Amino acid sequence: MAKVKNWHLQREMDYPYEGARPKKQWAIIFDLNKCIACQTCTLACKTTWTSGKGQEYMLWNNVETKPYGSYPLAWDLNVLEKLGRQDWAKNGKYLGKTIFEAAEPTEKAVHFAPQDNDWMYPNVGEDDCAGGPAGEGGFSMSSLPHDKWFFYLPRTCAHCTYPACLAACPRKAIYKREEDGIVLIDQSRCKGYGECVRACPYKKSMYNPHTRTSEKCVGCYPAVEQGIQPQCVVNCIGKIRVMGFINPPWSMREDNPVDYLVHKKGIALPYYPQLGLEPNIYYIPPIHADRAYLRQMFGPLVDGAIERYQKLQSDPQTAGLLTLIGSTDRIMHRFKVADSTATGFDDKGQEIVSVPVTEPVIERRAWDEQLSVVRNNTP
């Protein structure tokens, strides 16, 4: 195995191939405090990419309720159990083993294969509360985290820097594009052995029994090549997502929206970074959910991320950037917040969107003196 640098773990790790970072790396940030599980993203992807034969069960984008929901069934419990208990240092350095390091000598990664039935219940556990049924013993929202809680977790392929799907493929049919870091399966090389389905711990590679090949989220590369964000991002009703390009921390740019939220402010974190893939979807954690659960999912930096998110009112730069999320279908390469206005720019430095950081409040009296009429707010 080669030694590669994984900045999520703050250390080097073993990986079957030499590390080669792409020129740009596709990434999505999700604000989990805002997702309403409307599943518009799921359907936007479904109608665009997976309406064919053999794809009936496939949801390249799915939204599950945590902690009890999962698609496929128990994907996260399975991988965490197989990896076993591992530890982090308080400063965010990972002390345990990744799925590559903990694998048997004959395997590329710790893995498991979901059964056909496990893909059949994408909404299992929807809206189920942790901390006891909502009716029992009352329900207090007066303190954080809440004593009864759940949250929605939207998921796509993470176009990992160190993909387990790619590492496991015996046909070398999976590749990572140099121009944008998107991970694709070459359908002409794939023979449907399903090693990627078994190896991806996030279970984002799926087998098509009709074509007898494996398929996965393509990062909406045709849109990305035109400077447009993916379907699941631009159709998000809650405006919780933004797609951009992330740099590693040693070459981060403060005016890059993704770098700013992940590196500069540290309020968006990768999920299950301990698995070792350097996944490129990042989450702003939900402030109300159980902290032990969130530490397992996002690592030890989650407490600081939540604390900083809760201080947004006194942080106009970050608050301004968050108002840009969902305001344009174009990919924002840079942003600026000045004079109570947030502005996004494309890769050529052209302005593509501009929004007020605070919406003006306009008070309209019921009695209009000028026209001597009573107004009401019924259209």
Closest contact distance (angstroms) between CB of 345 and ligand SF4 is: 22
- Residue 157 in contact with ligand SF4, rule: CB under 6 A: yes
* Binds ligand SF4 (CB under 6 A): choice among 156, 214, 318, 328: 156
φ, ψ dihedrals at 333, nearest 5°: -95, -30
- Residue 216 in contact with ligand SF4, rule: CB under 6 A: yes
Q: How far apart are CA 251 and CA 246, in angstroms?
A: 10
- Residue 237 in contact with ligand SF4, rule: CB under 6 A: yes
Give residues 196-215 in contact with ligand SF4 (rule: CB under 6 A).
200, 202, 204-205
Q: How far apart are CA 148 and CA 133, in angstroms?
A: 8
Report DSSP state, residue 117: G
**x/- binding map, residues 88-127, to ligand SF4, per CB under 6 A?**
----------------------------------------
* Binding piece for ligand SF4, criterion CB under 6 A, among 150-158, 289-297, 314-322, 337-345: 150-158
Nearer to ligand SF4 among residue 297 and residue 343 (C-beta):
297
* Binds ligand SF4 (CB under 6 A): choice among 108, 111, 148, 159: 159
* Binds ligand SF4 (CB under 6 A): choice among 277, 289, 297, 321: 277
- Residues in Cβ contact with 368 at an 8 Å cutoff, skipping those fewer than 6 apart: 374, 375
Q: Is 338 helix (H, G, I), strand (E, B) or coil?
A: strand
- Residue 154 in contact with ligand SF4, rule: CB under 6 A: yes
Task: Count Cα atoms within 13 angstroms, Cβ side, for 59.
Answer: 21
Cβ(325)–Cβ(242) under 8 Å? yes
Beta-strand runs (E) in the chain? 2-6, 11-15, 26-31, 62-66, 151-155, 174-176, 183-185, 205-208, 213-216, 241-245, 269-270, 281-284, 334-338, 341-345, 351-356, 367-368, 373-374
Nearest-5° angle of CA 81, CA 84, CA 87? 130
Q: Is 3 exposed, middle or buried (0-12, 13-18, 19+ CB in 10 A)?
A: exposed
Nearer to ligand SF4 among residue 39 and residue 256 (C-beta):
39
* Binds ligand SF4 (CB under 6 A): choice among 69, 114, 122, 163: 163
Closest contact distance (angstroms) between CB of 56 and ligand SF4 is: 16
Nearer to ligand SF4 among residue 215 and residue 290 (C-beta):
215
What six digits make up the tokens of 277?
A: 């893939």
Give residues 31-70 in contact with ligand SF4 (rule: CB under 6 A).
35-41, 44-45, 48-49, 60-61, 63
Interface residues with ligand SF4 (CB under 6 A) are 35-41, 44-45, 48-49, 60-61, 63, 152, 154, 156-160, 163-165, 183, 200, 202, 204-205, 216-220, 230-232, 236-238, 240-241, 277
